[in-house]
Amino acid sequence: MAPDTPALEAARLRKVYRRGAEDIVAVDDVSLTIRRGEFVSFIGPSGSGKTTLINILGCLDNATAGSLKIGGRTVFSEDICLSETALTRIRREVFGYIFQKFYLVPTLTVRENVLLPFAFFRKAEARTNPMEILAFLGLDRRIDHRPAELSGGEMQRVAIARALVNKPEILLADEPTGNLDSRTSDEIMTIFKDLNDKKHISIVMVTHEMDIGMCAKRRIHMKDGLIVREEVNA
Ligand SMILES: Nc1ncnc2c1ncn2[C@@H]1O[C@H](COP(=O)(O)OP(=O)(O)O)[C@@H](O)[C@H]1O
Ligand SMILES: [Mg+2]
């Protein structure tokens, strides 16, 4: 991939949910380009289409219309729709996913949770050292603990470690601080900034919290499924 190939390119994305006789337009004509190495947030109130959009960008959901390219490759468009196998591969090779509800496996230790992606798939070129990632995230003294023994911030850090083991190009985070207090939220944002600055991972985050969204270098504001405004740090 050429170094200037965008990480993500979306054109005229639209997602319509059918609820009974009613059509709900969750994402309405969204076009955007995210370059490699960017830290972008989508900020908007509940119901503005953030989760729907990030799920489409991360190939977890399909759009009703529009097109999406990931690393220059068309994932879907009017006449292209990749197979489920190809999509699964992109999900594993390109993305790391982080959610509001950490989704750790309660019966597994920190170490086992973080190694879980390797049980299904190990990206050949990744060669990450999970212990180094755990140390980077300040979890090296927690590796034999189970999720119930951890604080919320620690649980989210474990989820971040798990998202990192396969060396994703793009980290996608849907309300990553939604279950955390403000001090812990700031810690998670510091980790995101470090991952972006020092490890050059592209980050795409959605949040309804303005101060969290402001941590990203580029902020895209959403309302009613539309991009209404955008700002970038100088
Ligand atoms: N599976 C679904 N079926 C029907 N409507 C949905 C579904 N998911 C989301 N919606 C609707 O789409 C709109 C956008 O939702 P969502 O993307 O979850 O917004 P946000 O993450 O910003 O809160 C809302 O009106 C929501 O009710
Ligand atoms: Mg949401």
CATH number at residue 65: 3.40.50.300
- Return the ligand number nearest the Cα of 174: 2
Query: Closest Cα to atom 24, ligand 1: which residue?
Result: 47
**pLDDT confidence of residue 197:** 96
Any residues with Cβ below 6 Å from ligand 1, and which? 17, 19, 24, 26, 44, 46-52
pLDDT at 100: 96
Residues, Cβ < 5 Å to ion ligand 2:
50-51
- Does residue 181 fall inside a structural domain? yes
pLDDT value at residue 121? 77
Q: Ligand 1 centroid to 190 CA: how many Å?
A: 29
Instruction: Kindly report the protein residue whose alpha carbon is nearest to atom 5 of ligand 1.
Output: 17
> How far away, in angstroms, is 187 Cα from ligand 2 center?
21
pLDDT for the residue 160: 98
pLDDT, residue 226, reads 97
166, 111 in Cβ contact below 8 A?
A: no
In the chain, how many domains are there?
1
Quote the pTM value. Answer: 0.95
Note whether residue 3 is domain-resident. no
* 132 alpha carbon – ligand 2 mean position (Å): 31
Per-residue pLDDT of the chain (234 residues; tens, 9 = 90+): 677 899 999 999 999 999 899 999 999 999 999 999 999 999 999 999 999 999 999 999 999 999 999 999 999 998 888 999 999 999 999 999 999 999 999 999 999 999 998 887 777 777 788 899 999 999 999 999 999 999 999 999 999 999 999 899 999 999 999 999 999 999 999 999 999 999 999 999 999 999 999 999 999 999 999 999 999 987
CA of 229 to the centre of ligand 1 (A): 20
Residue 117: its pLDDT value, please?
A: 87
Residue 182 lies in a domain: yes
- Ligand 1 pocket mutation, candidates 52, 64, 210, criterion most atoms within 8 A of CB: 52
CA of 129 to the centre of ligand 2 (A): 32
Whether 24 maps to a domain, the answer reads: yes
Order of strands across the sheet with 65-70?
A: 22-34, 8-19, 65-70, 73-76
Which of 23, 51, 100, 226 gets mutated to test ligand 1 (max ligand atoms within 8 A of its CB)?
A: 51
What gap in Å lies between CA 110 and CA 146, rounded to an integer?
6
Please check whether residue 96 is in contact with residue 172, taking contact to mean a CB–CB distance below 8 angstroms. Answer: yes
Any domain includes 1: no
Supply the range of the domain harboring residue 226.
8-232
CA of 101 to the centre of ligand 1 (A): 17
Q: Residue 174 Cα, ligand 1 centroid: separation in angstroms?
A: 13
Note whether residue 136 is domain-resident.
yes
Closest residue (by CA) to atom 27 of ligand 1? 47
Q: Report d(CA 142, CA 111) in Å as an integer.
A: 8
Give domain status of residue 41, yes or no: yes
Ligand 1 atom closest to the Cα of residue 222 is: 22
Q: Is 153 among the domain residues? A: yes
